[in-house]
Amino acid sequence: MPVPALDLTRHHGPLFDQFRAAFDQVLRTGQFVLGPAVERFEKRLAERCGVGHAVGLSSGTDALLVAMMALGIGPGDEVIVPTFTFFATAGCVSRTGATPVFADILPDSFNLDPASVSAKITPCTKAVIPVHLYGQTADMDTLNALAKKHNLFVIEDAAQAIAAADKGRPVGTLGHVACLSFYPTKNLSAFGDAGACVTADADLAQKMRQVRNHGQTGEYEHQMVGGNFRLDGVQGAILDVKLDHLTAWTDARRAHAKRYRELMSGIDGLALPAEGPDKFHVYNQYTVRVTPKPGQAPSARRDGLLKHLRSKQIGCRVYYPLCLHLQPCFAGLGGKQGDCPVGERLSQEVLSIPMFPEMTDAEQQEVAAAVREFMLA
């Protein structure tokens, strides 16, 4: 039985009628960019995230860019990012004219190692971007203390972590601003590209609203140079419908993670995702680590498992196969093999297996049986 990595048709099926009604409403108002549907979604999103303000944007990438532009980050500044994340986290730093500085991660959480961050802080450091990778928050207490001491902005890259929490505090309240993505593979997804920033800071929210609309402050008056980072009305309306189901979908992901743990514990060479104490992990990805057998190349066993699962039509993927400090486009920054040993090792060992709310128990058993078959061979 094939098992997809995710299945958006199943995900959306029960809501088709509500989506049509949402489309109709946007059609009737004719407000295709921002407008009432976006405003309603922003209001409810802010409430959901436990903060006063949400700003709807064109993508998660643009959310990172808008947050940094609104915070005044630019040439001469340094921004510390994890080396093990999706490209956008660091790409957006470069696009502001600032320099991304790559810190290593922790092996159990896949998230920023505060000790590595601390070692990278210089007088030019303006901000740190903890990424809540795969849906679990970074060590925010330690990172926030460090940021406070050095007067740094904390920008949460929460693209994979809407509804996650750290000691009961939700994503969005754990830094100065949090950036969300509604790309179709994310836990709350639009019908295309979309994103948002959420913050408790009213002035920053106001600034981000200006940045998303070419820095416009009055009628065709521009106090700064922004861009077109606006959210479409249709996306706002769709997201507003889907927001009602976020809790149920998150609970389903967590139940599947628990079931995977029952089905795959105790397999030699296979580390299942560790849920830290006081963490509410939302499992955007279910990412295992496959450690090589003695004498094997670092990624040999992981690559073998990937091939085995794909031969059985089980969707799986490596997020992410190459650390950012080793990416060709950042070669000018002087990163080299050995700079971030944990990230480098994990990029050879991680594998994300199927995870989506509508997964059935039979599908989970199929995946687990295939994993066992390969690992115990």
Ligand X SMILES: *Cc1c(COP(=O)(O)O)cnc(C)c1O
Q: Shortest Cβ distance from residue 30 to ligand X (Å)?
A: 26
Q: Shortest Cβ distance from residue 189 to ligand X (Å)?
A: 9
Q: Does 343 bind ligand X (CB under 6 A)?
A: no
Q: Shortest Cβ distance from residue 371 to ligand X (Å)?
A: 24
As a whole number of angstroms, the distance between CA 76 and CA 27 comes to: 46
Q: Does 165 bind ligand X (CB under 6 A)?
A: no
SS (H, E, C) the chain: CCECCCCHHHHHHHHHHHHHHHHHHHHHHCCCECCHHHHHHHHHHHHHHCCCEEEEECCHHHHHHHHHHHCCCCCCCEEEEECCCCCHHHHHHHHCCCEEEEECECCCCCCECHHHHHHHCCCCEEEECCECHHHCCCCHHHHHHHHHHHCCEEEEECCCCCCCEECCEECCCCCCEEEEECCCCCCCCCCCCCEEEEECCHHHHHHHHHHCECCEEECCEECCCCCECECEHHHHHHHHHHHCCHHHHHHHHHHHHHHHHHHHCCCCCEECCCCCCCEECCCCCEEEEECCCCCCCCCHHHHHHHHHHHHCCECCECCCCCCHHHCHHHHHHCCCCCCCHHHHHHCCCEEEECCCCCCCHHHHHHHHHHHHHHHCC
Instruction: Tell me which of 157, 166, 232, 349 binds ligand X, using CB under 6 A.
Output: 157
Residues in binding contact with ligand X, number by CB under 6 A: 15
Angle between helices 202-211 and 60-70 (to 10 degrees): 120
Q: Does 181 bind ligand X (CB under 6 A)?
A: yes
CB of 60 or CB of 357, closer to ligand X: 60
Q: Does 287 bind ligand X (CB under 6 A)?
A: no
Q: Does 283 bind ligand X (CB under 6 A)?
A: no
Q: Does 61 bind ligand X (CB under 6 A)?
A: yes
CB of 88 or CB of 237, closer to ligand X: 88
Positions 87 through 116 that interact with ligand X (CB under 6 A): 88-89
Instruction: Tell me which of 41, 84, 110, 183 binds ligand X, using CB under 6 A.
Output: 183
CB of 193 or CB of 366, closer to ligand X: 193
The residues, any chain, with a CB within 8 Å of residue 46's CB and separated by 6 or more, are 52, 53, 54, 198
CB of 144 or CB of 181, closer to ligand X: 181
Q: Does 187 bind ligand X (CB under 6 A)?
A: no
CB of 192 or CB of 304, closer to ligand X: 192
Q: Does 232 bind ligand X (CB under 6 A)?
A: no
Q: Does 135 bind ligand X (CB under 6 A)?
A: no
CB of 91 or CB of 226, closer to ligand X: 91
Instruction: Tell me which of 131, 178, 188, 340 binds ligand X, using CB under 6 A.
Output: 131
| Number of CB atoms found within 10 A of residue 216's CB | 16
Q: Shortest Cβ distance from residue 103 to ligand X (Å)?
A: 15
Name which of 235, 355, 30 is nearest 368 in CA terms. Answer: 355
Q: Shortest Cβ distance from residue 351 to ligand X (Å)?
A: 17
Q: Which stretch binds ligand X (CB under 6 A): 3-11, 59-67, 109-117, 207-215?
A: 59-67
Instruction: Tell me which of 83, 85, 109, 144 binds ligand X, using CB under 6 A.
Output: 85
Site map 6..45 versus ligand X, x via CB under 6 A: ----------------------------------------
Contact 340, 102 (CB under 8 A): yes
Q: Does 144 bind ligand X (CB under 6 A)?
A: no
Q: Which stretch binds ligand X (CB under 6 A): 12-20, 48-56, 85-93, 344-352?
A: 85-93
Point out which residues bind ligand X (CB under 6 A).
59-61, 85-86, 88-89, 131, 157, 159-160, 181, 183, 193, 195
